[in-house]
Structure 1
Amino acid sequence: MSNIGLCTDITCDNSIKELYKCHCCLQVVCLNHLIEHVEITKQNKQRLDNVRYELNTIITTLKSIVESKLSTIEREQNLIEQGKRLLDASNSSIDEIQNIFEQINQAIQSNCLDVIVKVEPLLSETKSCSTVGQCNKENINSNGKLNFYRY
């Protein structure tokens, strides 16, 4: 049901128009602004749906990563227990010990690849650079990886 009056939308002119109650914001607005409000509401709902979908996707991805890490931890704990049992057993063969040693060593090496190292320059290294950004750029290769130098 419509009324006649001034639209309450601040962008509307001050002419008398047919007014309608917007179900989105409960304001009394003209037909043009009612249509605009409905369109904005649809767009906001679509954006919300998209963001919710993206959030669900990254939650699923993170869950998969965590499950994989937990599985790896379980396997590595099993290796530790096997190694301890072989150390405690007096009748372990050199082949059994060598085998578990290699498995544990391989697990350690694969974990070392996952470690992220944060390197910050020493104060003496930053004195020769005009800016910290310049020093950092000199140590980063074209792939965006930090260059490590041995002296």
Structure 2
Amino acid sequence: MSEKNLCTDITCDDTIKELYQCHCCLQLVCLTHLIQHVEIAKQNRQQFNYLRNELNTVINKLNLIVEEKLLTIKHEQNLIEQAKQFLNTPNSTIEELQNSFEQINQAIISNRSEEIILKVEHLSANMEECSYIREHDMENTNLNDHESSTNVIPNLMDTILFNISVRQALIAEQNIFYL
């Protein structure tokens, strides 16, 4: 059912028109604004459904990551328990102790390398943002300035990779020292 009056949408002109009740906001609006309201509601539903699907996807991904980490933690706890048993057993062999030691050190190295990888990934994400800003800012500078600024990223990555290599070498030296 329709009635004639002023449209309640603030963007509408001040002419009397046939009005219809919007099912979204329950206001009386002209046909033009009713169509706009319906389209906005449709877009909102689509966005809502899209976000629900995306949220479900990332929940599933995170759930898999957590399950994988829990399995790793369980394995590492077993390594610890096994090593404690070897320590508490007076007739443990050198091979058993050495094997347990190597497995635990490998788990430690693996955990540290995961931390380093995460730090490098985070840093590289920031560098992409910086390169965008740099490219945007370079529009007002000359070519020579641009060439010198682009050399910063490879040098930074070389430094990071060098630091990772040094850390791994230090860890390896510590392992040899304990043997």
What TM-score range do you get, normalising by the shorter chain?
0.7 to 0.9
The verdict on how the C-alpha distance between 1:146 and 1:28 changes in structure 2, with shifts beyond 3 A counting, is: farther
The verdict on how the C-alpha distance between 1:54 and 1:34 changes in structure 2, with shifts beyond 3 A counting, is: same
How far 1:63 moved relative to its partner?
A: 1.3
How far 1:146 moved relative to its partner?
A: 7.5
What is the distance in 1 between the residues matched to 2:155 and 2:73? 31
Classify the secondary structure of the residue corresponding to 1:103: helix
| 1:23-102 correspondence to structure 2 within 5 Å | 23-102=23-102
Partner residue, 1:10 = 10
Classify the secondary structure of the residue corresponding to 1:142: helix
Partner residue, 1:147 = 159
Q: Which runs of 5+ in 2 are unaligned?
A: 120-148, 164-179
Q: Give the CA RMSD over aligned residues.
A: 2.6
Q: Which moved more, 1:42-51 or 1:108-117?
A: 108-117
TM-score (norm 2): 0.66
What is the distance in 2 between the residues matched to 1:4 and 1:144? 69
TM-score (norm 1): 0.77
Classify the secondary structure of the residue corresponding to 1:32: helix
How far 1:141 moved relative to its partner?
A: 3.5
Query: Which structure is higher in helix share?
Result: 2
What is the distance in 2 between the residues matched to 1:102 and 1:144? 33
How far 1:147 moved relative to its partner?
A: 2.1
The verdict on how the C-alpha distance between 1:84 and 1:52 changes in structure 2, with shifts beyond 3 A counting, is: same
How far 1:70 moved relative to its partner?
A: 1.1
The total of aligned residue pairs comes to 133
Contact kept? 1:19, 1:31, Cα under 8 Å: yes
What is the distance in 1 between the residues matched to 2:101 and 2:41? 63
Contact kept? 1:7, 1:29, Cα under 8 Å: yes
Percent of matched pairs sharing the same residue: 59
